[in-house]
Amino acid sequence: MTDKGQVFTPAKLAGLELKNRVIRAGCFEGMCQGGQVTPQLIEHHRRVAAGGAAMTTVAYCSVSNDGRAFEHELWMREEILPDLRKLTDAVHREGALASIQLGHSGFFTSRSVIGKRPLGASPKWCLFMRSYCREMTRGDIDDKVNDFVAAAVLAREAGFDAIEIHAGHGYLLSQFLSPWTNRRKDEFGGSMRNRLTFPIQVVEKTHDILGSGYPILVKMNQIDGMEKGVSIHESEFIAKAFEQAGASALIPSSGFTSKVPFLMLRGNLPIDEMSRNQSGMLDRLGLKLFGRLMVPKHEYRPLFQLEGARRIRRAVGIPVIYIGGADSLPAMEQLIDEGFEFVQVGRASIQDPDFINKMASGQLVRSPCDHCNRCVAAMDAGGVYCVSNKLGFLTEA
C-alpha cells in the first residue's frame, strides 16, 4: 500500500502536469440556464479548484444546440467563449486545471428544447423524453463529427487544459456503440467494428486537429447494464480502438441514462425529490407514480466499478482514470497502487468542496457523503448542491 503522499504527488497526462492524482468528475451541474455560462457555474468550479482538485471537469457541454436534453444544459459556440474564459481563469487562479465534457444526447434529446425531432443511431422511442428519434444519415454523421471537432477547438480557445469526449452513459456516441440503440444495416451498424466507426472518427479527427500534446480523455462504458447492451468483453475491444484513435486516457464508467441511469451512481433513488423538481405536470406525475418501476436501484459499495476498470486497464497502454466509489483515502491509495494514474470523484466534492484538501491535511480520511443522491434531484431545481450538508454547495433556488 502506498503512503498518502502518493495520491497528492504530481503526475502527467499527455504532457500536462497535474498537481495531484484527484480529478473532479463531470457531474451535471444544472447551472447553464438558457445554454449560458452563469456566475453560479463559474463559482461552482472555482470552489472545486480551491478545494484541492488537480483538475475540475465542466459537465456535459453539447457540441451543438440539437444535442441538448434540458434547457439548462450548455452548448458550445463562440458567443459563450468570454464567459468560459472567466471560468477557466478562475480555476487557474486557484492552482488547478480545467477540462470540459463534450457530447450529444442523441435520441434522448428534448424536442421541446431543440425545436425539432431528435437524432439517433436508429429510430427508437425514448420513454425518458417521450420522443421518437429519426435515424441519422451519413450527412448527419459527418456534421456531428465536425461539431465535435469544432467544439474541441473552441474549448481549447476558451482556456481548457483538456477535453473529455463523452462516449458513455447512453449519449450519442454510446448509442452507436450499443446494439440496444444501434440496429443499423450499413457501415455504422452490425458488428462492433462497424458500430465503432462514428465514435472513432470523432476521436481521430479531434486528435488530428488538437495534436498529440493536448489531452483528449474519453469517457466510455464498461457495460451498458441492460439486455442487448455493451458487455465488458466488447468494452475491452472498444478501449483498444479509442487508444489507437488517439485518446490520451480513458474513463470507464457504466450505465445508460435513458434506461439504467443510477448504475453509474449507486445508492438511494430520490424519486420524490426528483418528481417535485420537474417543471411539467406530466413529468412530475409520471415520476411520482412510475419512477420506482422505471428506474432500477443499485446498491452502493466502495469502488463499485473496480472489476471492470481493471480489465480496461489491462487492455490498453494509456492511462485509465478510475471513477466509481473512490470516496476515501485508502481507496485512492489502493487505486494508485494498482496502477490507475488518476482518480475521479463526484459526490464527495459536492458534499464538501474542500474534501481533497481535508484529506491532504489529515482532517478527513473518508467522505461523509451517504449517497442519498438528493444532489441529483437538485440539478433540476437551480443547480446541484448537497442537500444534507450546509458546507456543501448552496444554490439560490
Q: What is the CATH number of the domain that holds 238?
A: 3.20.20.70
Say if 131 falls within a structural domain.
Answer: yes
Please, how many CA atoms are within 13 Å of residue 32, restricted to the half-sphere of its CB?
A: 24
Pairing of strands 321-323, 342-345: parallel
Is 395 part of any domain?
Answer: no
Structural domain contains residue 356? yes
How far from chain centre, in Å, is Cα 232? 19
In a domain, 385, yes or no: no
**CA 303 – CA 313 distance, rounded (Å):** 15
Torsion, Cα of 324, 327, 332, 333 (10° steps): -140
pLDDT value for 113: 94
Query: CA angle 160-306-10, nearest 5°?
Result: 40
Cα–Cα separations (whole angstroms), residue 301 to 96, 265, 337: 29, 10, 20
One digit per residue, the tens of pLDDT, for the chain of length 397 reads 345 579 999 999 998 999 999 999 999 999 999 999 999 999 999 999 999 999 999 999 999 999 999 999 999 999 999 999 999 999 999 999 999 999 999 999 999 999 999 999 999 998 878 889 999 999 999 999 999 999 999 999 999 999 999 999 999 999 999 999 999 999 999 999 999 999 999 999 999 999 999 999 999 999 999 999 999 999 999 999 999 999 999 999 999 988 998 999 999 887 666 656 555 655 555 554 445 556 788 899 999 999 999 999 999 999 999 999 999 999 999 999 999 999 999 999 999 999 999 999 999 999 999 999 888 877 777 889 888 875 455 433 2
CA angle (273 as vertex; 267, 278 as ends), nearest 5: 125
Give residue 390's pLDDT: 52
Phi-psi region of 271 (alpha: psi -120 to 50; beta: other; left: phi over 0): alpha
* Close Cβ partners of 138 (under 8 Å, ≥ 6 residues apart): none
Domain count of the fold of the chain: 1
Contact (Cβ atoms closer than 8 angstroms) between residue 80 and residue 37: yes
State which H helix or E strand residue 373 sits in. Answer: none
Q: Is the dihedral of CA 82, 321, 205, 261 positive or negative?
A: negative
Q: Cell numbers for 256, please give them.
A: 445508460
- Is 27 part of any domain? yes
Looking at residue 127, its pLDDT comes to 80
Q: Is 330 inside a domain boundary?
A: yes
> Does residue 269 sit within a domain?
yes
pLDDT at 373: 86
How many other CB atoms are there within 10 angstroms of residue 83's CB atom? 16
Residue 306 is predicted with a pLDDT of: 98
102's enclosing H/E stretch is: strand 97-103
Residue 396 lies in a domain: no
Asked if 98 contacts 58 with a C-beta cutoff of 8 angstroms, the reply is yes
Name the catalytic one among 60, 171, 214, 385: 171
CA 201 – CA 248 distance, rounded (Å): 15
**∠ CA(2), CA(352), CA(344), 5° rounding?**
45
Rounded CA-CA distance 40/47 in Å is 11
Phi-psi label, residue 30: left if phi above 0, alpha if psi -120 to 50, beta otherwise: left
Structural domain containing residue 30: 4-378
In whole angstroms, give the CA distance from residue 188 to residue 205. Answer: 17
> Catalytic annotation on 132?
no
C-alpha to C-alpha distance for 373 and 379, rounded to whole angstroms: 11
Predicted pLDDT of residue 60: 92
Task: Read off the pTM.
Answer: 0.93
